[in-house]
Amino acid sequence: MRENAVGDHYGRGDLWKRIRAALLANGLDPNNLEVEDLAPVDQFHSRGRSATLDLARLAGLTSKMRVLDLGGGLGGPARVLASEVGCSVEVLDLTREFCRVGERLTAATGLSDLVSFRHGNALDLPYGDSSFDVVWTQHSAMNISDKERLYREVRRVLLPGGHLAMHEVFAAPDTEVRFPVPWAREPGISHLLPQTSVRAILAASGLQELAWLDESSAAEKWFRKRAASMPPSPDSPPSLTLSLVLGPDFVRMFRNQLRNLEEGRISIARGLFKAV
């Protein structure tokens, strides 16, 4: 994983200033927010909040669990889990700015006692063995080339019998992705594998498959509905969207992701795995 290139893709500087201005423009108090207020800008994955809640149900999360959200960005899913389930969530992300802004957004929602942030690399997790009940990933593995090392690290930090809950984007065999997409402007930082390859790596890493659901069709419908309401020009994005994070070409990225799904170039699935 090319850390600098990935950081350049996601970290644009002045993110808090942009988000704060957009919140104010929408009549929201940046220091006193509901979790739902942030959904347009902190849910980086397909189907947004609904997908997070679906994965939480699949994982059987409870308030007593300690969760590690790998590549959790601004903490959108973590805040949903904390507010809806009451579990403790640590967000680990490679982008320092996401961690800093995520802490401010979490404080504004009153969830700092349950959600924390740590800058770090998913390939070298700064935690001891058997530290978490659940490791959580939502559209986090696309920029990581060494999937074998990633899932070995996941297995290492899971308690025996703990779970990996994942919701990820996958490559289709013998096809190429249309760029730019939300996780990469060019192929150099996009590291998708087919579903079958990832499932084999997970099994070899000591993670037993309990459930696997392809949700490409549902994701495509969601993207199509959202795309229809987007502005025609990338120069005029709505004020509170992922354009604040990814820049004015986000609209093009979003539409390309829809095209990739429509043309069978990528797929999206969620799964649950047990540490054995």
pLDDT per residue over 140-189, tens digit each? Answer: 999 999 999 999 999 999 999 999 999 999 999 999 999 999 999 999 99
How far is it, in rounded angstroms, from Cα 159 to Cα 76?
A: 24
CATH of domain 3-275: 3.40.50.150
Q: What's the confidence (pLDDT) of residue 233?
A: 53
Q: If we measure between CA atoms, which residue out of 161, 139, 172, 166 comes closest to residue 151?
A: 166
Q: Which residues of 129-142 are buried (b: 16+ CB within 10 A; e: fewer)?
A: eebbbbbbbbbbbb
How far is it, in rounded angstroms, from Cα 18 to Cα 243?
A: 10
Q: What's the confidence (pLDDT) of residue 5?
A: 79
Query: Does the pLDDT of residue 231 top 90, yes or no?
Result: no
Q: Where are the alpha helices (DSSP H) in 121-215?
A: 147-157, 195-204
> Domain extents for the chain?
3-275
Query: Does the pLDDT of residue 238 top 60, yes or no?
Result: no
| Extended beta strands in 60-119, E state | 66-70, 88-93, 115-119
Residue 32's alpha-carbon distances to 37, 79, 103, in angstroms, are: 10, 14, 13
Q: What secondary structure letter does DSSP report for 155?
A: H
Helix (H, G, I), strand (E, B) or coil at 174: coil
Query: Does the pLDDT of residue 237 top 50, yes or no?
Result: no
Beta-carbon contacts of residue 266 (< 8 Å; ≥ 6 apart): 169, 170, 171, 172, 177, 192, 216, 257, 260
What's the whole-number mean pLDDT along residues 259-265?
98
How far is it, in rounded angstroms, from Cα 98 to Cα 70?
A: 13
pLDDT class for 10, splitting at 50, 70, 90? confident
Q: What's the confidence (pLDDT) of residue 6?
A: 82
Q: What's the confidence (pLDDT) of residue 250?
A: 92
Phi then psi for 234, rounded to 5 degrees?
Answer: -65, -10
Helix, strand, coil percentages, rounded to 5, for the chain: 40, 20, 35
| Extended beta strands in the chain, E state | 66-70, 88-93, 115-119, 132-138, 158-171, 207-214, 266-275
Lowest mean pLDDT among 9-18, 54-63, 223-232, 234-243: 234-243
Q: What's the confidence (pLDDT) of residue 72?
A: 98
pLDDT per residue over 83-135, tens digit each? Answer: 999 999 999 999 999 999 999 999 999 999 999 999 999 999 999 999 999 99
Asked if the bond preceding 180 is cis, omega within 30° of 0, the reply is: yes
pLDDT per residue over 16-58, tens digit each? Answer: 999 999 999 999 999 999 999 999 999 999 999 999 999 999 9
What's the whole-number mean pLDDT along residues 54-67?
99
pLDDT class for 234, splitting at 50, 70, 90? very low
Query: Does the pLDDT of residue 235 top 50, yes or no?
Result: no
